[in-house]
Chain A
Amino acid sequence: NAGVTQTPKFRVLKTGQSMTLLCAQDMNHEYMYWYRQDPGMGLRLIHYSVGEGTTAKGEVPDGYNVSRLKKQNFLLGLESAAPSQTSVYFCASSEDRGLRQPQHFGDGTRLSIL
C-alpha cells in the first residue's frame, strides 16, 4: 500500500552541491509532478511528466532538471544548489491530468541549503 514514495525525507546541502530526489509510484500512473512548498506560497509546480520519457516545465523550473526513464520513477535534480532552493519538495502522480482523478502526493522531502 505504498502509493507515492519519496527519498530522502530530509537532506542538508551546502551551496553549490548537487543532489537528486527520487519519486516512485506503484499505481501505474501516467502523470507525475514535482512541486515545492514554501511558507505562505502554497504549492508551486516545478516540472511534470505525461508519460515515460517525457518531461515539461511548470511554473518554477529554473535551477532544476528532471528525468522519467521509467514509468514508475520521476527524478528531480539540483545541479548546483542555492539557498533559495531551501524548501519542502512534494512529488505527486495521477491517472490522468487531474481533471477527472485527483493527484496523489508523497510525504515530501525537506531540503535545506546552507
Chain B
Amino acid sequence: EDKVVQSPLSLVVHEGDTVTLNCSYEVTNFRSLLWYKQEKKAPTFLFMLTSSGIEKKSGRLSSILDKKELSSILNITATQTGDSAIYLCAVSGAGSYQLTFGKGTKLSVIP
C-alpha cells in the first residue's frame, strides 16, 4: 500500500520568513511526486518531480526530490500572506491510475 507522510502538519511563520515543507513516501515503482497548493477551494498544481526532473523552481517556490531518501521538500522563500494555504504532496507508481495524497501541511503566514 502506497503511503505519503507530510511534516509538519501545521506551521505558522511571519512574512518574509523562509519555510521548508517535507514529504516522505513509500510507493511501488515510483513514477512521480506532485505538490499542490490548496486555498479555499480546488487544489492547484505547483510541481511534478520525476526521476528525470528532480528539481523544480517557480519564483519563490522550489522543490527537490531525493529518490535515495524517498522524500521531497518544498521551499518557500520570502513568504507572503498569500502563501497561506494547505500544501499537499502526492505520489504515483508505475502501473497505477491513482495518486496517493498526504494529509497536507497547513501554512499560515502572519503579517
Could you tell me which A residues sit within 8 Å of B by CB distance? 4, 31, 35, 40-45, 48, 50, 56, 58-59, 90, 97-100, 102-108
Q: Does B96 interact with chain A (Cβ within 8 Å)?
A: yes
Contacts A90-B43, A108-B42: A42 and B97 contacting too (C-beta < 8 A)? Answer: no
A102/B103 in contact, CB under 8 A: no
Q: Does B108 interact with chain A (Cβ within 8 Å)?
A: no
A43/B88 in contact, CB under 8 A: yes
Contacts A97-B97, A99-B31, A99-B32: A42 and B41 contacting too (C-beta < 8 A)? Answer: no
Q: Does B101 interact with chain A (Cβ within 8 Å)?
A: yes
- When distances are taken between beta carbons in the complex, the residues of chain B under 8 Å from A50 are 97
Q: Select which of B45, B94, B103 is within 8 A of A42 by beta carbon.
A: B103
A48/B97 in contact, CB under 8 A: yes
Contacts A98-B32, A99-B32, A102-B48: A43 and B101 contacting too (C-beta < 8 A)? Answer: yes
- B41, B45, B99: residue with the most chain A Cβ atoms closer than 10 Å: B99
A102/B31 in contact, CB under 8 A: no
- When distances are taken between beta carbons in the complex, the residues of chain B under 8 Å from A100 are 32, 48
Q: How far is the CB of A70 from chain B (nearest CB, A)?
A: 20
A42/B88 in contact, CB under 8 A: yes
Contacts A102-B34, A107-B42: A44 and B101 contacting too (C-beta < 8 A)? Answer: yes
Q: How far is the CA of A42 from the CA of B102 in the complex (A)?
A: 6
Q: How far is the CB of B54 from chain A (nearest CB, A)?
A: 15
- When distances are taken between beta carbons in the complex, the residues of chain A under 8 Å from B104 are 42
Within B31-54, the residues touching A (CB, 8 Å) are 31-32, 34, 36, 41-45, 48
Q: Mark B3-14, 1 if CB is under 8 A from A, else 0.
A: 010000000000
